[in-house]
Structure 1
Amino acid sequence: MGSAHVIGLDIGTTAVRAAELEFGGSRSGQSATLVRYGEVPLPTGAVRDGEVVEQQTVGTALRQLWQQQKFSTKDVVVGVGNQRVVVRELELPWAPLTQLKASLPFQVQEMLPVSVDDTLLDYLPTDEVDGPSGRMVRGLLIAAPRDTVTANLLAVEAAGLRPTMVDLNGFALVRALHRAGNTGRIAAYVEVGARVTTVVVAQGTTPRLVRVLPMGGQQITDAIARTLAVSQPEAEQAKRELGLEGHGPVQSAVTEVTRGLVEAVRNTFVYYQANHPGRGIEVVVLSGGGAHLPGFGQYISSASRLPAVLGDALAGITIGKGVPSGRMQGLESLVALPTGLAHGVAA
């Protein structure tokens, strides 16, 4: 088999980001080369809580991104993930995976807050066990509102791109970040975006829990802007320079919002531990722009009593000649979603 090019597309609150990976004959993660990467900012309100609101605005940004980076194809793997996407553990009688997936509408219709007709369903098996009624499969049910997925796909298609696969952002995080010394460990991956924080607990490459929290770094910027009565750019600069290590009203504003976010993350860890005794989390891997808040890593480590490190989505990936020298320096923890989405085709 020859090389294959796959583009992972992350539609975030503040920007669209795309990474083109070239895979060798086996498409294994170790043979991946980053051949192109780029991002284009989005205006406020174009994407809200992980869902595209202004399809033409996002489509225009995507067209600009493709014109700038000269990606080799218009085929893309698109990520989704917000609070409306339900991910929960589900045990089913054993059957081939195709049959399990076909049975989901009948198995889960009482579990969902909306009709299965309005929901896209998928299932990720994680274990097989022997139950009182025989062989069982444990796994994660993924239930995504059809209108959420459709809104994102329409924006992609408005740019003339072709979605070949839709993947869960949480799964992409694990694929992107597990290679940096986390293989085989039970790790909690925490991606702090602008308005949404994704938390995934995984054992090696197998996700065990996925939660999406409706808060992120933009809420901290908003709090500083209100407290100091300054513009968003000024508040963003103060956040990046001072963070949790500042003094006075800035630190108070940052701490108040960050405390709520960290508490929600910690509660997610506690929930996981309670449902998976004997398989405790060993490390917290941070990614996303919000994870770069000065003092955030120390704060979450202290609150969870776990070591916290910045993730490296480029570990094991060769940087191609087409990527300008130094272009990816400092972006290792910021490109987890687009690179992880590209890896999904090889999974």
Structure 2
Amino acid sequence: MATRAIGVDIGTTQVRAAEVEISGKGPGAGGRASLVKYASAQLPAGVVGEGEVLDTGALSAALKGLWSSAKMSGKQVVVGFGNQRTVLRELELPSMPLKDLRSSLPFQVSDLLPMPVDDALLDFYPTAETEEQGVKQLRGILVAANKNSVASTVAAVEDAGLRPVGVDIPSLALVRSLVYGEAEQQVVGIVDVGAHTTEVVVVQNGMPRFIRVIPSGGGEATTGIMAAMNMSMADAENLKYQNGINASGSPALEPAHEAAMQATRALVDGIRNTFVYYAGNNPGAPIDRVFIVGGGAHLPGFGQYLATACRLPVGFGDAFGRLNVSSKVAAQINGQQTVGAVAVGLGMTEATA
């Protein structure tokens, strides 16, 4: 029996939707996954900022337009949500049925949250069960999101005539779409560089072990170039991707190069420190390789710089590599293999439910 799910990824500059059909128990259990449709639409500046929906009407309009042009087959969607206020941390809790554990979260984790527990939506994603001196513990990822922020996102989606049937964090979606084949037997780092946030996920044998959200992304380089060159955001963005972090040789463009390099250096330091922290807490399980995705990952020179700083193999992730893709759909997704990773992973939610 085949099931379909439509993942909706709401970014700072774009909204993306991926309709995925799952047969059997999914591609990781001998089943199959097919990309039925994929579409994206630009978002005007100011609609979404730092993961928060700032203009519900504009986002709803963009979603309506995307659904009309892409002709998605349904209105039920799985929405991605995450911002700088979302808490993601590895945690061990007493082993119990997952339903009971989730209902007990407000009492078990209230002291760990930077917000009142009544203001938070809580979830727990189990990754392993351990036992010490006869006591079983469940290890997993605690997720705590601000209720009002989630409600604003859901309201915008519903105003577009869609029906959210699930909300998931981008980090878990990235694992579903990018970790397959040989990577399922390795320790893999995933780096998703957005406009103003960067998701870093460490995955061991197909299971997420560590998640961190760094509060900076590719947008900081653009802002720096704008100030250094006294130019518009659009011109700064074009110049950023034209020259990257490599020196152009032109004295007139040296301020732009310095600005882009400064922002990128700070971001790479944050990523490297995240990997160092993981390695210090997980001896004997070193990271084998790193996948980079997201619009900011395409900054010329970024991947090489990250590989040198971390001393790890770094390459682009391919969100469509494990999916069956028809020739018709293939023409629509050219160049979207990295930026579509979250939407595809959200669409694959049913495969791991």
TM-score bracket relative to the smaller structure? over 0.9
TM-score (structure 2 length as normaliser): 0.94
CA distance in 2, matches of 1:128, 1:180: 24
Deviation at 1:80, TM superposition (A): 0.9
Match of 1:339 in 2: 344
- One-letter amino acid matched to 1:319: V
User: Which stretch of the first structure deviates more once superposed, 105-114 or 245-254?
Assistant: 245-254
- One-letter amino acid matched to 1:166: V
2:330 maps to 1:329: no
CA distance in 1, matches of 2:26, 2:184: 18
Deviation at 1:5, TM superposition (A): 1.8
- One-letter amino acid matched to 1:338: A
CA distance in 2, matches of 1:328, 1:145: 33
The runs of at least 4 aligned residues of structure 1 exceeding 3 Å deviation read 25-30
For the aligned residue pairs, the C-alpha RMSD in angstroms reads: 1.4
Match of 2:105 in 1: 104
For residue 256 of structure 1, give the secondary structure of its aligned residue in structure 2. Answer: helix
Deviation at 1:322, TM superposition (A): 4.4
Name structure 1 gaps, 5 residues minimum. none
CA distance in 1, matches of 2:110, 2:317: 37
Match of 1:281 in 2: 287
Please give the residue correspondences for 1:63-212 in structure 2 after superposition, counting only pairs within 5 Å: 63-132=64-133, 134-179=135-180, 181-212=182-213
For residue 216 of structure 1, give the secondary structure of its aligned residue in structure 2. Answer: coil
Cα shift readout 1:234-288 (whole Å, capped 9, x = no counterpart): 1111111110123322211110000110011111111111111111111111000
Deviation at 1:189, TM superposition (A): 0.3
Match of 1:225 in 2: 226
| 2:323 counterpart (317, 320, 337) | 317
Deviation at 1:99, TM superposition (A): 1.2
Deviation at 1:344, TM superposition (A): 1.4
For residue 182 of structure 1, give the secondary structure of its aligned residue in structure 2. Answer: helix
CA distance in 1, matches of 2:78, 2:12: 18
- Partners of 1:282 and 1:306 within 8 A in 2: yes
Cα shift readout 1:63-88 (whole Å, capped 9, x = no counterpart): 00001100000100000111211111
- Partners of 1:4 and 1:27 within 8 A in 2: no
Deviation at 1:321, TM superposition (A): 5.0
User: Which stretch of the first structure deviates more once superposed, 143-152 or 26-35?
Assistant: 26-35
Cα shift readout 1:131-165 (whole Å, capped 9, x = no counterpart): 34712111111111111111110110110100000
For residue 245 of structure 1, give the secondary structure of its aligned residue in structure 2. Answer: coil
CA distance in 2, matches of 1:180, 1:129: 26
- Partners of 2:183 and 2:206 within 8 A in 1: no
- Partners of 1:180 and 1:315 within 8 A in 2: no
- One-letter amino acid matched to 2:9: D
Match of 2:310 in 1: 304
- One-letter amino acid matched to 2:320: L
User: Which stretch of the first structure deviates more once superposed, 237-246 or 128-137?
Assistant: 128-137
CA distance in 2, matches of 1:82, 1:155: 16
Match of 2:27 in 1: 28
User: Which stretch of the first structure deviates more once superposed, 281-290 or 133-142?
Assistant: 133-142
CA distance in 2, matches of 1:228, 1:255: 14
Percent identity reads: 45
Please give the residue correspondences for 1:228-239 in structure 2 after superposition, counting only pairs within 5 Å: 228-239=229-240
CA distance in 2, matches of 1:289, 1:180: 24
Name structure 2 gaps, 5 residues minimum. 249-253
For residue 257 of structure 1, give the secondary structure of its aligned residue in structure 2. Answer: helix
CA distance in 1, matches of 2:129, 2:39: 41
Deviation at 1:62, TM superposition (A): 0.3
Report the CA distance shift for 1:219/1:121 in structure 2 as closer, same or farther (over 3 A). same
- Partners of 1:91 and 1:136 within 8 A in 2: yes
For residue 184 of structure 2, give the secondary structure of its aligned residue in structure 1. Answer: coil
2:278 maps to 1:272: yes
Deviation at 1:102, TM superposition (A): 1.3
- Partners of 1:35 and 1:321 within 8 A in 2: no
Cα shift readout 1:30-66 (whole Å, capped 9, x = no counterpart): 5111111111111111111112111111000000000
